[in-house]
Structure 1
């Protein structure tokens, strides 16, 4: 993100957390993450550009990598630490949050 301030939101995920994708005929899709009493919904402009497609692809790739790591930790029986040390290990283009 170029210049300016950046807001950060950390959502503790547990068994009650959920995600939802909604597709519409006449408007851009919505993707939501709900955790506790917080709902985050990703929205797009009505006119999509190549950068919007690129963002969606990166989001999908990062979410898939996240799922693989969570499953690995679960299968190993390891309890993860705070996650701070590996949070930026992705391609460097900023993981979707």
Structure 2
């Protein structure tokens, strides 16, 4: 018999200005995140996360597009906003170590 803790659900962590917001990856949210330049809008939709808009000049964070897997991240460095997907990372799939 194998015993294990239940793995944490995959979640989105948004950090800015010393604050954190945490949502499940399957949430449907538009989060207005205050940063050093203004407000960055992060959308969680249909199992993906993206930066919809940000007040930075280069818009690299918007151009990064959607992220959807454990360990992926996107950041607006000028505005000080960081978005990360964390959790189990396996989404219920078998890996090479399973037999």
Of Structure 1 and Structure 2, the greater strand share is in 2
Q: Bigger relative contact order, structure 1 or 2, given CA contacts below 8 A and separation 6+?
A: 2
TM-score of the pair, normalised by structure 2: 0.25
TM-score of the pair, normalised by structure 1: 0.25
